[in-house]
Amino acid sequence: MKRRRGELSKEELNLIYDDSEKKEEELYKAFLRDCYIRNLRPATLNYYENELMAAKKLLSKPLISWTPNDVEEFILKSKEFMSITSVNTRLRALRSFFNFAYKKKFIKKNPMKDIKLLRDRQKLIETLNNEEIENLIKTIRKKKTFVSFRDEVILLVFLDTGVRLSELVGIEVDDVQGNKVIIRKTKNLFERTVYLSDITQQQIERYIKLRGKVETNKLFISQDNKELNRHSIQTRFQKYGKEAKISKRVSPHTFRHTMAKRMIMSGVDAFSLMTMLGHSDMTITKRYVNLWGTDIEKKHKQYGALKGLKI
């Protein structure tokens, strides 16, 4: 009889171990390859990687072997320590993954087919009022440094244009053309033009002179003349918010919401706002229009259809 020694052969290993991990690795590579082919943003790829790995870890079971019951168990466990919004964010990643797996015949049944996102109560999004914006600018101006002046200009650009943080850090000096800025690194890959008010245009021109010529062509730079990273901007504005004693969250996203609200209250129509903000469809823009109930009430009192009628 032949003596057994050494490592088991591939065929022998298959007799012992389930090859689901191997199939999942193959599926995972194919899914990411498809994402690359579709030219999804690096941030989107990171989102898929992080969410899929976290979901797999929660149930300690290969995703490729999940059933609808596993998805339901995942939801129940996730709700114990995650917000509804976060659970839905993870479910969206799983849906994309399983739709791809089913389409490419890696799996026979799609476990997400009849699973819907969790219902979540729509919350009013915080925005900054005039006093808070003015206090924030005063707080920044007290510093009297290159970095503080740069941050003041960044704040003005955020409030004036509603650009996303990722879009702002991608702006180059040549993209600034008088009272307009070309936004090239957009979320939906469609370039768009945003426009500047007189004060923002003046401050950008002053900033560019103060900035001078450096190795990078990015508009906003660090005190070491290097490109700014997004995290540093978020951190600095959180700090400014605390110094200005603003209880609300002070962040680039808050500035974007503030711009949207101010434009709506000034009478800008939804289609124009959609273009300004770079939304790919009207759904999100409509939500902005319906967000600020108390302000809409004021508008109704001011411009109500029955106002002025002697009835």
Q: Tell whether 292 is covered by a domain.
A: yes
Q: Tell whether 162 is covered by a domain.
A: yes
- Residue 218's pLDDT is 95
CA distances from 267 to 167, 179, 264, 270, 308 (A): 25, 21, 5, 9, 20
How many residues are there in the chain? 311
- Residue 213's pLDDT is 93
Q: In the beta sheet, which residues pair with residue 182?
A: 193
- Residue 16's pLDDT is 45
- Residue 100's pLDDT is 95
Q: Tell whether 117 is covered by a domain.
A: no
3-state secondary structure of 293: helix
Rounded CA separation 290/122 (Å): 10
Does one domain contain both 162 and 54?
A: no
Does one domain contain both 226 and 288?
A: yes
Q: Which bin fits 308, alpha (ψ -120 to 50), beta or left (φ > 0)?
A: left
Give the CA count within 13 Å in the CB-facing half-sphere of 216. Answer: 16
Does one domain contain both 38 and 157?
A: no
DSSP state string for 98-132: HHHHHHTTS-SS-TTTT--PPP-PPPPPP---HHH
Q: Tell whether 47 is covered by a domain.
A: yes
Rounded CA separation 35/37 (Å): 5
Does one domain contain both 90 and 25?
A: yes
Does one domain contain both 96 and 166?
A: no
Query: What residue ranges of the chain have pLDDT lower than 50?
Result: 15-17, 293
Give how many domains the chain has, as a whole number. 2
- Residue 302's pLDDT is 65
Does one domain contain both 177 and 260?
A: yes
Could you list the residue range(s) of the whole structural domain that residue 29 is in? 18-103
Q: Tell whether 115 is covered by a domain.
A: no
User: Which backbone phi and psi does 229 adopt, to 5 degrees?
Assistant: -105, 155
DSSP state string for 203-215: HHHHHHHHH---S
Does one domain contain both 200 and 289?
A: yes
3-state secondary structure of 172: strand
- Residue 85's pLDDT is 85
Q: Tell whether 121 is covered by a domain.
A: no
Q: Tell whether 108 is covered by a domain.
A: no
- Residue 189's pLDDT is 73
